[in-house]
Each structure stands twice: as C-alpha cells, then as structure tokens.
Amino acid sequence: MAGLSLDNLELKATDGGTVIAVKVVPGASRDRVAGLLGRRLKVTVSRPPEKGAANRAAGRVLARLLGLKARDVELVSGQTRPEKTFLIRTLTPEEVRRRLAKR
C-alpha cells in the first residue's frame, strides 16, 4: 500500500485498540488488500460468504498485513454485510496507519 494516501481511512481509537472500517469482497481470485474504497479499506478474499468463512479470511488478511496474530483482529459489526468493522487489538490508529503505509 506504499504510495497510497491513508489520510481518509476511517480509524477510531477505543479502549481495546483501534476500530477499522473495511469493505470485504468475497469470492475473489486471491486474498489481499485492494486499496481504499471511500473511507474503508477494501479487502478481497477467495472464500465464499458462507458460515463466516469470508469474515474469518478477511480477519487473517488484516492480521498478516499488520504483523499481528489472527486472535488480535476481531469482527465487531457487519457479520452479514460487505461493510464491516474490525477491532485491531493493542494498536493505536497511528500505528495501524503506519503499518499499512509500509506495505
């Protein structure tokens, strides 16, 4: 994501870490962060949107990108919608933005 401006990315500090707005696109050819879509991070995953498989895959993509364990990324809203919010435990919004900018 180097070279991509992350200034508009929707991040919110909470007691438990940072909440990040994500648009998940299931059924893609590969798992990756595809950039920004408005104020959301666009994540494509190869898993289908069945029984939470795409949600879990998106959480793993975020964890890998941020250098965290999968258990440090939790889906907090949007279980059945493409627009989701994830809690990134232990990181501040500034640290999330910094780690995303390095990728």
CATH number of the domain at 63, please.
Answer: 3.30.1200.10
Into how many domains does the chain fold?
1
Mean residue pLDDT of the chain comes to 92
**CB 18: neighbour CB atoms within 10 A?**
21
Q: Using one digit for the tens of pLDDT, what is the confidence trace for 48-97?
A: 999 999 999 999 999 999 999 999 999 999 999 999 999 999 999 999 99
Terminal C-alpha separation, the chain: 5
Residue 3 placed within a domain = no
The pLDDT-based confidence of 1 (bands split at 50, 70, 90) is low
Range of the domain at 71: 11-79+90-102
At residue 6, the pLDDT reads 79
Q: Write down the number of H helices and E strands in the chain.
A: 2, 6
Residue 49 placed within a domain = yes
